[in-house]
Chain A
Amino acid sequence: MPVPDEWSSPVDEGSAVVDLVLVSLLLMPLFVALLHVGSVLYVRNTLAACAHDAARYAASHDIVTAGPETMRDAVHRRIDACVPALVGRRLTVTAEAERTVRTTPDGAAVPVVEVHVSGVLDAIVGTRTIHAAAAVLSEDP
């Protein structure tokens, strides 16, 4: 019986499912990292906006003149109300408020209320701490 030269099995054909799994193992971490970057950026912007909102509230005349205790309570209330529910479940927020003095671009020293917010984001992989700060012109004389 003559031996045909096309006897060899088609070894070049792998299983498509295995290929897909192997490539997905490489691509999925990249995709998850992308989601992570997006969520961190979003939370940072949200925290900055909330810090500013809280500072604005704490810098109003009645609160800033009532003392640091009142100011801190006001900031905490405001931050809790501001951080959206979507982020709030995965975010533990701590906030500090203080009244300091800053110099404006033209050199004048003005009283400001500064709020520092740091949130621990329970991200897709691990946790990540995100800081945000805001300063607002104080309304006390």
Chain B
Amino acid sequence: MTAGRSTRYGNRIVRPPRVPRVQGADRASGRKGADRLSRLKGANVLSGLTRSVRGLERRDDGNAIVEYLILGVLFLIPLVYVFLAVFAVQSTAYGVTAAAREAARAFVTAPTTTDGLTRACAAAAIALRNESADTFDCSTQLAVQCVTRDACAVSLEPGLMIRVIVRARAELPFLPGSLFGHPLGVDVSAQHDEVVDSFRAAG
């Protein structure tokens, strides 16, 4: 009877008894891990040592499928959060870009600077309200500068270029500010340059 092959005696199958592993017969027994181990450690290691190492290995064996499933789900959850956060920032970025453009356009169509600021504030607030639900504070989030002059003239002369900067904060989802003492978010800003129309009604 050769090792590693079943032999039929009458009606019952007789499997070959396993020969001691230290003699390098693991290959025939079909235990790949043990075979690799004994090959790694050499075939002539003391049988007691081999057996204790193999015992450790078997106790550590966990189910790879369970690990794969749990880790897969665990890594998907942060990915969902990243998606939500990134798209919240993108939405706010679109919003401030639009608000800056609106405010600049509203400013240059106004007859005076004071009137223009009021109109710019209204335009930015209306534009941004659709993107994010929070309130818009014109005194802190909206800035109008003159690009070509040191100070803006009281009446907007044709050809005058103004620059509008709108700032907003994209709140990170599921992270309330009360938990960390200050609101967590990403600051987003946009600027837009606009020229006062050359042909406009005298203000």
In the assembled complex, how far is the CB of residue A75 from the closest CB belonging to chain B, in whole angstroms? 15
**B94 touching A135, Cβ below 8 Å:** no
Tell whether, in the assembled complex, residue A104 and residue B125 are in contact, meaning their CB atoms are under 8 Å apart.
yes
Q: Pick the contact of A135: B68, B126, B135 (CB < 8 A).
A: B126
Chain A residues with CB below 8 A from B102, complex form: 56, 136-137
Those of B93-138 within 8 Å (CB) of chain A: 94, 98, 101-102, 105-106, 109, 118-119, 121-123, 125-127, 129-131, 135-136, 138
| Cβ distance B150 to chain A, nearest Cβ, rounded Å | 28
> Chain B nearest CB: distance from A85 CB in Å?
19
Which 4 A-B pairs rank lowest in CB-CB distance, beginning with the nearest? A104-B122, A41-B87, A4-B17, A137-B123
Instruction: Name B's interface SS.
Output: helix
Whole-angstrom CA separation of A44 from B87 in the bound complex: 9
Further contacts, 18 of them, CB under 8 A, given A30-B72, A31-B76? A4-B17, A19-B64, A19-B65, A26-B69, A30-B73, A30-B76, A34-B76, A38-B83, A38-B87, A44-B87, A48-B131, A52-B98, A56-B101, A105-B125, A106-B122, A136-B123, A137-B102, A137-B122
Complex Cα distance A106/B124, Å?
Answer: 13
Docked Cα-Cα span, A47 to B52, in Å, equals 65
Is the beta-carbon distance between B72 and A27 smaller than 8 angstroms? yes
In the bound complex, residues from chain A placing their C-beta under 8 Å from that of B129 are 135
A11 within 8 A of B: no
Q: Taking the complex as formed, is B79 at the interface, i.e. its CB lies under 8 A from any CB of chain A?
A: yes
Query: Which among B18, B91, B106, B122 is the interface contact of A108 at CB below 8 angstroms?
Result: B122
> B121 and A104: CB pair below 8 A?
yes
A16-30 vs B, CB cutoff 8 Å, 1 = contact: the mask equals 000110110011001
Within 8 A of B (CB), among A31-80: 31, 34, 37-38, 41-42, 44-45, 48-49, 51-53, 56
Q: Is A133 an interface residue (CB 8 A)?
A: yes
Q: Which residues of A contact B (CB under 8 A)?
A: 1-2, 4, 6-7, 10, 19-20, 22-23, 26-27, 30-31, 34, 37-38, 41-42, 44-45, 48-49, 51-53, 56, 102, 104-106, 108, 110, 112, 132-137, 139
Chain B residues contacting A4 (CB-CB under 8 Å) are 17-18
- Point out the residue from A2, A23, A105 that lies within 8 Å of B135, measured CB to CB: A105
Total A-B residue pairs with C-beta atoms closer than 8 Å? 101
14 examples of A-B residue contacts, CB within 8 angstroms: A10-B30, A19-B64, A27-B73, A38-B87, A41-B83, A41-B84, A45-B90, A104-B126, A110-B122, A110-B126, A134-B130, A137-B106, A137-B119, A137-B126
CB nearest to B9 among chain A residues? A1
B45 at the interface (CB under 8 A from A): no
| Bound-complex Cα distance A38 to B118 (A) | 38
A134-B95 Cα distance, complex, nearest whole Å: 10
Known: A48-B131, A139-B109. A34 touches B126 (CB 8 A): no
Set A10, A48, A106: member contacting B91, Cβ < 8 A: A48
Cβ distance B8 to chain A, nearest Cβ, rounded Å: 14
- Docked pose: A58 CA to B125 CA in angstroms: 19
- Across the interface, do B94 and A49 meet the contact criterion of CB distance under 8 Å? yes
Residues from chain B with a CB closer than 8 A to the CB of A49 are 94, 98
* Interface: B15 (CB within 8 A): yes
